[in-house]
A and B are shown apart, each in its own frame.
Chain A
Amino acid sequence: MDVYYFLFWLFSAVAVFAALRVITVRNPVHAVLFLVLTFFTCAALWMLLEAEFLAIVLVLVYVGAVMVLFLFVVMMLDINVAPVREGFIQYLPLAATVAVIVVVEMVLVVGTRAFEPNTLTAPKRAAAGTSNTEALGELLYTEYLYHFEIAAAILLVAIIAAIALTMRKRPQTKYQNPAQQVRVTKQERLKVIKMESEK
């Protein structure tokens, strides 16, 4: 049991540290990499909670795909740090208000009776051999089928919208149609010209 506690404290410490560095580090690329580290340690924490499917999917989707594209975009931006920091004092009151509201909300939620340590009992460990993936799949496709389908439909709409935004044809861009390119025949490209030989 001690190993679990050790790992828990290790991963949570790294997660909190990395999350803090995301907002304090100066270089945006370093910030993205710290965000990757945060995701990764969170996945490790989920793994400790025996949610291995969710943990691996977090790594696969967020670390493996979303953050790669994020990094891709951030690397190409030429961010000048000074102008970004100019408005700091100006926006401070608004940002502070938002931060206070968020903190108060969190205290209200976490401070309720449901989260008191004495009323909570530790959840039982799953018996060896239970498959987290199977259990999740069974719940998703039976009890929560409608929620699942609605979420899928919303995501599909979002995908179509995102693609539709990029589908506008700009007149100055040149497109190639490989199907048309390979169908080209000799008659279209070659012309044999008969001419008198020069003397």
Chain B
Amino acid sequence: MELALQIWEWFPLWFRILVEVLAKIVVIVVPLMIAVAYLTLAERRVIGFMQVRMGPNRVGPRGFGQPIADALKLLTKEVIVPTNATRFLFLIAPILTLTPALAAWAVIPFGEGLVLADIDAGLLYVLALTSMGVYGVIIAGWASNSKYAFIGALRSAAQIVAYEIAMGFALVGVLMAGGSLNLGKIVEAQSGGFPGWFVWPLLPLFVVYFISGVAETNRAPFDVAEGESEIVAGFHVEYSGMAFAVFFLAEYANMILIAALTAMLFCGGWLSPFWGDWLATLSAIPLIGWVFAGGVHWFLLKTAFFLFCFLWFRATFPRYRYDQIMRLGWKVFLPITIVWLFVEGIAIVAGWQPWLI
């Protein structure tokens, strides 16, 4: 052990930092990718049960081999580049959608101090990166040299820009309540168990944020960017094989990101929902006490709940018409957020801050 430590010290500092950061990235990205793979299975199974059918259950025990079989199938298929497509942009577009979805995880705190980059402007960073994802969609649609893909890209661009504004305003409400842009500090400001979460004082902003998140990730009922019944598959109609799979990965990684952010900004992140004496009594129980105290497992549980909501929405709601999407974004959500920010501002000036228990 000491020898290993000595060898480690012998390396230059920059090398040690590099190795450490890379190791942390691997620790975050590998479980994330596994989560993405099994989210696709979960989606098909959950929607299957909601529609009273089985879903995929043939590959491996209870269908658990399905994501691996799908990945292998997509890996071995040919990536076809359409004639007169802009080759470079066509191939780089899937990467441009996936990169921001993964990079945003750098500032997500999984537990107290369990974060890759503890930066002060964390919330802004997340907002900036989620707004970058739209480039992949637009470039994919344009470079494909296909009318369906192009229409899908235009729809997606207008939709994402519209909902990003409501989303940004909702986050302004969160940072006003939390008093910081640092995600860890925002979570800590929600201590005090279930009633201390921001979801109660900021309920309208929570609803706006989560629905905007569904729209931002182009999920049903806002999935007009790929509306199968009108434009075949939207912006990724010309993609095949691994290039298509990367779009798929990006969509699910974005879903997990939005779910994690909602859990963190409105539902107390890694904090336990119990409070006061209850928390003290329950966490003092030997062996299973840690379950009731705060920790990574609560964060994962809350994230899983919001991911389930994504799937639930898809099985429940019919697709919006395009003009209704625009109306909802601009004429409903934006006024709600502005009014609630105003109310919140007055509450803060008057010193009436129920979330600071």
Contact = CB atoms under 8 A, between A and B. Distances in A.
B138 A68 contact: yes
Interface string B43-68: 00000000000000000000000000
Contacts of A72: 138, 154, 157-158
B248 interface: no
B125 interface: yes
A60 B135 contact: no
Contacts of A65: 131, 161, 164
B128 A133 contact: no
Interface string A36-66: 1000000000000000110011011001110
16 contacts: A29-B142, A33-B139, A56-B128, A60-B127, A60-B128, A63-B131, A64-B131, A68-B134, A68-B135, A68-B138, A68-B161, A72-B158, A75-B142, A75-B150, A76-B154, A178-B327
Nearest to A67: B135
Contacts of A68: 134-135, 138, 157, 160-161
Q: Tell me the dominant secondary structure on chain B's binding face.
A: helix
A29 B143 CA distance: 10
Interface in B121-144: 121, 124-125, 127-128, 131-132, 134-135, 138-139, 142
B154 A64 contact: no
Nearest to B122: A56
Given A36-B135, A59-B132, A133 B161 contact: no
Interface of B: 14, 89, 119-121, 124-125, 127-128, 131-132, 134-135, 138-139, 142, 150, 153-154, 157-158, 160-161, 164, 181, 323-324, 327
Give the interface centre of A36, A59, A69 by most chain B CB atoms within 10 Å: A59
A184 B186 CA distance: 46
Nearest to A134: B120
Contacts of B89: 33
Interface residues of A, number: 24
B120 A131 contact: yes
A71 B140 CA distance: 13
Across the A-B interface, the 4 shortest Cβ-Cβ residue pairs: A64-B131, A60-B128, A59-B128, A56-B124
Nearest to B160: A68
A60 B124 contact: yes
A3 interface: yes
A194 B279 CA distance: 70
A148 B22 CA distance: 42
Given A3-B14, A53-B121, 9 more contacts: A33-B89, A36-B135, A52-B120, A64-B134, A64-B164, A68-B160, A75-B150, A76-B154, A131-B120
B27 to A, nearest CB: 24
A56 B138 contact: no
A69 B158 CA distance: 8
Contacts of A56: 121, 124-125, 128
A56 to B, nearest CB: 5
Contact of B161 (A3, A57, A69, A178): A69
A63 B125 contact: no
A57 B124 contact: yes
Contacts of B154: 72, 75-76
Contacts of B119: 52
A176 interface: yes
Given A72-B157, A133-B121, A178 B324 contact: yes
Give the interface centre of B150, B157, B324, B327 by most chain A CB atoms within 10 Å: B157
B129 to A, nearest CB: 8
Contacts of B164: 64-65
Nearest to B134: A68
Contact of A71 (B125, B131, B138): B138
Contacts of A71: 135, 138, 157
Given A52-B121, A68-B161, A132-B120, A63 B132 contact: yes
A176 B135 CA distance: 32
